[in-house]
Structure 1
């Protein structure tokens, strides 16, 4: 359908029909849904009539090819103009084949596999009838108390931007209209949702505009540059105004400056939430502020359908603003090919072949292996398949390893740690030892009995999935005391212990890192988690994951992150006093484990850092090279990380900033030259007047295995 035909269709629509297009309702409201049931109560409560549903523009949370075809067919039979529905769902890290949570995927530093994971999720979702996924979430995160850190790829704006691009490429492909195996992506949450005060979800966000632009906006911009079709508003405030009603943020920053011309959707209920935020007296004012701000679709509240017509009739809202929003929705439907094929990729016969296929499970197993991070190893790993293993802990036989936002994932179909280890060896005894948050004497006795004859103890520990994710915020970020007690009981046996951790946030690992001999951070690894962990602990896969969030020494440090600013009285400076410096008196300033950290079963060494010249100009970039050697006994992958520091800026600059990385595979004894090219535009930053440019002066380049352990060389930028 051409643009002229879309405009013609828009002209045929009544104002009521236009407004209904701007409303998104959950699946049970629609005829044809299997789980429709008696919805007259919810409809009446929300003030939704059958006519509104009949003209609604999009559906939230439907899945399954047969059901979506039924809903779409019934809708088209009753919709006067034959305008198809958009079906949207939260396909965050897999549809039914569940991949590791995004924070884990970030720790893979593998953009190719990340793109592949999104492509597989899109293929399963599309064949099941879904058109739009509410992903990727690219919010920069620095506070592990916040439950949704698991949905981000970490604390670095450059790395988050690279992953944002990879996810969008994977979900959308190159041409949505012809590639029915892809889905439209929706980047979220615009903007700065990852910085709530106190790490408490939905809470106030208050930061300078320079900080917003420097660290929080780049990943959204990267997703948009990759062609992301939708943006979701954040629950939080920006510049003191809730994002959903923030005209400057949405009209000026997002649309004018960042060039976004796609569909803007609210998060669940966020339009009406402007009332408790205190910027709208009632639903009518909330509707007014949201539509003026440019929100095209209102998710699961009814302020638009109740009040937009009245606002137009009172000349408070020009109908052209509503036309603009409706046209964007129609354009997305056209881009997805829904006017020609309203059922698009939905295919009940193909669905059973595609969803959870062997190839998809193989891909999630590979990514789970590359996402896990070896945090400690005192020569215990990899295990020998002849060793007798006692597998103990609340996650030993648990399918709760998929993590939050694994909507259609089945715990029953997830490979447990027990199942994974049994695929490698028969020398295994298993005991629960404790529950996630409780422990009994009987459980301890069972665990000790299981461990008595073992050569090594493998502990499967962590947070259940309800302890992170949306609204899963925690002030105490240690493992529950029941699990720390279990470690203490088993340590008395004086046997080697390996801890495998399942969690959605960086933890304070005191009581774990200091009391076990090896620690594997597995995060929530997904459907093939047990197999991936067995691959790692038995050495069939060499760990290559590296942290993308710093692990705090103590929650009192939070937020703690590698790319922080210095102070006028930095701890450890040559002329620093003993007391009157920026420090804690009772804990270190530095995190327990730094950004970029991770171990391997082999040893890599770095040498011979060289710059192609000592001076960079706008037209002459620097080539930076270093020799990387695998000095150990097995093949491995190393993430070579390049950071810079600007020694003197117009405003203060971070002590280090990641600018590039390479993932290098080397055989034992092999050496490679790793070369980066650093350009002047990579040294730019937002000045106090928000202009984005670089300053001449001295810089240091750092290359190494993490943000702390690096080699360095200085150079100058001349302009």
Structure 2
């Protein structure tokens, strides 16, 4: 045993020495380079620009790009892709600037590059961390093949208000699940070697609390207690930092009254001093400049404030480039402030291997080998199918038989333009598989498919104009709504089953796409009502970038399958699930409300002194007069074509000490007629604490495959760390007392046991 201990110690010492050597070499290289840089060149490294005309991500573009690059006034660039174009731009920096410092090339690779995966909210619904990591790894491989090696992803903002359009870009409402997804995506993008030509630097965003914008309105103010920050909103950012993320992006909103981009407590005290982050911080798109509108001064003032707060790179606004020299002369910042930020940017370039080979990502043979391959599309198809959530399945109408006649209707049934979803600027919608095409591919000769549009996504041309900024997403048919409806009803009358594909256009969610109405547009609601009147089995395939209020649709439909926006293989993946080639296993990562008046609604709410017990209205309890407290579909919810039975929940001990591990086990049996996967979820409630605690918190989950009739024992481990929280003094503590453990298929898990924790 001693030999093993000594060997481990020796290996650890050797690894430590190697790391120290690398750090010393990096420090030496960067210090020597900086000793030759002028003040203007150092400030230039803090400038991130976009030339426009490439990948659209914002409303402002940079000017005089070529001249600035040659003058050493650009540290990074985005909106350019393709190995030849990237090499051409990099050549300007490496061969025509005085010191030849290479640039960073970035982009928003949010859910895939050219091979587009489901939107992140959908991907999180798979509850499959290995799959999520694999999609990030594939995205990195594709993007780097096209010359992009710095990614503005993952977005890890916790979001509990579906009015906010950017819920589509995150992993939902839960801090624990969000943290696991954040780590998986960072691992996927960055891999084990950041200097590899197939990995890319990840950027966790948006630091911080952006998902809690008041009224669900994008870019709006955020105000919350520090305790809520630390317990509910900050964990995914920290998880990404702990996973080694190379970059952090500041958010648009304010935090404690100070915009995040200029918030020293956030970017330095918390991020660096408490969490130990050693990468660089970039602003969001012109968020430095936008601090003027926040009321914090002119461009010079807010630029100085941001630099001193810990911001290292200014995205597009060029406030650093144009004002920092003057602020230095006036004593508002120090040369050390500039040097610190410059060093962090240069260190990132060193870690990426750019000083060794600035053209390592410019291999012109890679795009054809690595982008949009059959393997990549197969992964996109798998990821999409695994992300779908079966919300309802009466009379076991699903899976569909490969016989008879199917009426396929709805404005999204044959709409390539809406399959990729929001924030897919690098994808080509015309390469996506529409639902009609996918169903034809899967149905075979025994199925007759009749198709009709049935309705527009919306009949409102003014609304459509807002949605169609990046291309046609809502296309209002030349035919009248009445004509479209009659056509759909005519083919439905000849069908055995109706499949209606309805929901949001892709740009009805995402950035600058907040909504106060969570209903389907009236044009589609009318279609669903009339289809239901036919008496035929009605399968609703719903697409959206957010939870919708689907009370009426849930009552009218025989079955409902939530498919988010599924990505490039949308139609094939939907057909896989509808016909039973894959048994749906997705679970919701955001609660679906009954109406917008319940918002924000989330499962881990705190206890109240007057809780409503059950759904029956009781006066002077915490409830509504016009609707129950319960959501339409709870967090963690999702059905399968088979049935699962939970029983025999067991705890290894009744009393847990801080040094021990609590083993939790439950028996899971597939009692249905299909093989399938189930996401087993473990929740904990702290019954007595020094502050009010949530009624339930997710603390573990496992995705389990069972053949029909098979039983498995599923095991979890709970430690004091899972029981800990931030108290009133922001101390992370696990307090003695009683705890409940719940295990089941969703956040309404019924099986429960109690144990006592002793500090």
Q: TM-score, normalised by structure 2?
A: 0.91
Offset at 1:250? 0.9
SS in 2 for 1:43: coil
**Aligned with 1:27 (options 23, 39, 51):** 51
1:527 maps to: 568
CA distance in 1, matches of 2:67, 2:359: 25
SS of corresponding position for 1:390: strand
- Give the 3-state SS of the residue equivalent to 1:388 in structure 2: strand
Asked whether the 8 Å contact 1:390–1:456 carries over to 2, the reply is yes
1:700 partnered with 2:717: no
Q: Mark the CA change 1:28 to 1:548 in structure 2 (over 3 Å): closer, same or farther.
A: closer
Match among 437, 446, 458 for residue 458 of structure 2: 437
| Mapped partners of 1:636, 1:336: distance in 2 | 42
Q: What displacement does 1:62 show? A: 1.4
Q: 2:328 aligned to 295, 307, 312, which one?
A: 312
Alignment partner of 1:58 out of 63, 71, 76: 76
C-alpha distance in structure 1 between counterparts of 2:68 and 2:155, whole Å:
34
2:448 to 402, 408, 427: 427
2:249 is matched with which residue? 232
Partner of 2:40: 16
Give the Cα–Cα distance (whole angstroms) in 1 for the partners of residues 511 and 614 of structure 2: 41
Deviation at 1:411, TM superposition (A): 1.1
Matched, 1:594 2:618: no
Work out whether 1:686 is the aligned partner of 2:710.
no
Alignment of 1:82-121 (within 5 A): 82-121=100-139
Give yes or no for contact 2:55–2:425 (8 Å, CA) kept in 1. no
1:163 aligns with 2:184: no
Look up the match of 1:196: 213
What is the rounded CA distance, in whole Å, between the counterparts of 1:563 and 1:215 in structure 2? 9
CA distance in 1, matches of 2:717, 2:68: 60
Q: Is the 8 A contact 2:55 2:80 kept in 1?
A: no
Question: Contact 2:175 / 2:232 at 8 angstroms: preserved in 1?
Answer: yes
TM alignment of 1:18-417, pairs within 5 A: 18-28=42-52, 43=63, 50=68, 54-177=72-195, 179-280=196-297, 282-378=298-394, 379-399=396-416, 400-417=418-435
Q: Distance in 2 between matches of 1:270 and 1:368?
A: 34
In 2, Cα distance between equivalents of 1:2 and 1:194: 36
Q: Distance in 2 between matches of 1:267 and 1:86?
A: 16
Q: CA deviation at 1:34?
A: 12
Task: Please list the CA deviations of residues 661-699 of structure 1 after superposition, one character each: whole Å capped at 9, or x if unmatched.
Answer: 111110011000111111111101111111101111111
**How far is 1:387 from its partner?**
2.6
Is contact 1:20-1:52 (8 Å) kept?
Answer: no
Supply the distance in 2 between the matched residues of 1:364 and 1:510 (Cα, whole angstroms). 31
Are residues 295 and 52 of structure 1, via their aligned partners in 2, closer, same or farther at CA, if it must alter by over 3 Å? Answer: farther
Assess, with a 3 A threshold, how the Cα gap between structure 1 residues 53 and 157 changes in structure 2: closer, same or farther.
Answer: farther
How big is each residue's C-alpha offset from its partner over 1:290-320, in whole Å with a ceiling of 9 and x where there is no partner? 1011111000112111110011111211101
CA contact (8 A) 1:61 1:90 kept: no
Identify unmatched segments of 5+ residues in structure 1.
Answer: none
What stretches of structure 2 of length at least 5 have no aligned partner? 1-24, 460-479
The structural deviation recorded for 1:52 is 7.5
Partner of 1:714, secondary structure, is strand
Structure 1's consecutive aligned runs of 4 or more residues displaced over 6 angstroms after TM superposition are none
CA-to-partner distance for each residue in 1:202-250, whole Å, 9 max, x for gaps? 0010000111011111101110111100000000010110000111111
CA-atom RMSD in angstroms: 1.8
Deviations 1:407-430 (A, max 9, x none): 121111100100110012241010
Q: Which residue does 1:495 correspond to in 2? A: 536
2:657 is aligned, of 602, 605, 617, to 617
Alpha carbons 1:43, 1:49 under 8 Å: kept: no
Hey, what does 1:711 align to over in structure 2? 751
| Counterpart Cα distance in 2 of 1:461 and 1:615 | 51
**Aligned-partner Cα distance in 2 for 1:53–1:550:** 52
Residue of structure 1 equivalent to 2:16: none
CA 24–571 in structure 1, closer or farther in 2 if over 3 Å, else same: same
Question: How far is the alpha carbon of 1:251 from its aligned partner?
Answer: 1.0
- 2: distance between equivalents of 1:458 and 1:709? 31
Could you say if the C-alpha distance between residues 448 and 577 of structure 1 is closer, same or farther in structure 2, counting changes exceeding 3 Å? closer
Match of 2:716 among 660, 668, 676: 676
Pairwise CA distance, 1:709? 3.3
Task: Give how far 1:475 is off.
Answer: 0.1
User: What is the aligned counterpart of 2:686 among 639, 646, 650?
Assistant: 646
2:472 is matched with none
User: What is the rounded CA distance, in whole Å, between the counterparts of 2:159 and 2:165 in structure 1?
Assistant: 10
